[in-house]
A and B are shown apart, each in its own frame.
Chain A
Amino acid sequence: MTLTQRLRGIDWISAALWVFRAVIIILVIVGTVRKLFLGVGTQYTTQDWLDFISSGLSQGGLYALIALGYTMVYGVLFMINFAHGEFFMSGALTSTMLVASTLSRSGFMNEQPIIYLVIVTVAAVLTSMAVALLTERVAYRPLRRAPRLVPLITAIGASFFWQYFFRGLFGSEIKPFPVPAILEGWITIAGITFLKVRFVTLVASLIALILLYLFIMKTKTGKAIRAVAEDKDVATLMGIDVDRTIAMTFAVGAGMAGIAAILWALVFRQAHFYMGFVPGIKAFTAAVLGGIGSIPGAALGGLFLGLIEAVGPPLFLEGLGIPAAHQLKDVTAFTLLVLILIFRPQGIIGERLAEKKA
Chain B
Amino acid sequence: MSNLLEATRVTKRFGGLTAVNDLSFSIPRNSIVSIIGPNGAGKTTFFNCITGFYVIDEGDIVFDGHSIKGKSPDVITKMGIARTYQNIRLFSNMSAIENILVGMEPRLHSPWFGPVFGLRGTKEEEEKANVDANQLLNFVGLRGKGDTLSSSLPYGDQRRLEIARALAGNPKLLLLDEPTAGMNPRETAETTEFIRNLRDEIGITVLLIEHDMRVVMGISEDITVLDYGQKIAQGPPVEIQGNSRVIEAYLGRGAAGSAQLSLKHQEAA
Contact = CB atoms under 8 A, between A and B. Distances in A.
- Judge A-B direct contact (beta carbons within 8 Å): yes
Interface in A1-35: 1, 8-9, 11
A298 to B, nearest CB: 26
B70 interface: yes
Interface residues of A, number: 4
B55 interface: yes
Nearest to B72: A11
Contacts of A9: 55, 70
A9 B71 CA distance: 8
B12 to A, nearest CB: 13
Interface of A: 1, 8-9, 11
B60 to A, nearest CB: 11
Interface in B17-73: 55, 57-58, 70, 72
A9 B72 CA distance: 10
Contacts of A8: 70
Contacts of B70: 8-9
6 contacts: A1-B57, A1-B58, A8-B70, A9-B55, A9-B70, A11-B72
Interface residues of B, number: 5
Interface of B: 55, 57-58, 70, 72
The secondary structure that dominates the B interface is loop
Contacts of B55: 9
A206 B55 CA distance: 44
Nearest to A11: B72
Nearest to A9: B70
Contacts of A11: 72
Nearest to A10: B70
B138 to A, nearest CB: 34
Nearest to B58: A1
A11 B70 CA distance: 10
Contacts of B57: 1
A211 B55 CA distance: 45
B15 to A, nearest CB: 13
A153 to B, nearest CB: 19
B206 to A, nearest CB: 30
A9 B58 CA distance: 13
A89 to B, nearest CB: 39
A11 B55 CA distance: 13
A33 B57 CA distance: 41
A322 B57 CA distance: 46
A179 B5 CA distance: 76
A136 B58 CA distance: 50
A8 to B, nearest CB: 7
A8 B71 CA distance: 11
A92 B57 CA distance: 55
B18 to A, nearest CB: 16
A8 B70 CA distance: 9
The 3 closest A-B pairs by CB, nearest first: A9-B70, A9-B55, A8-B70
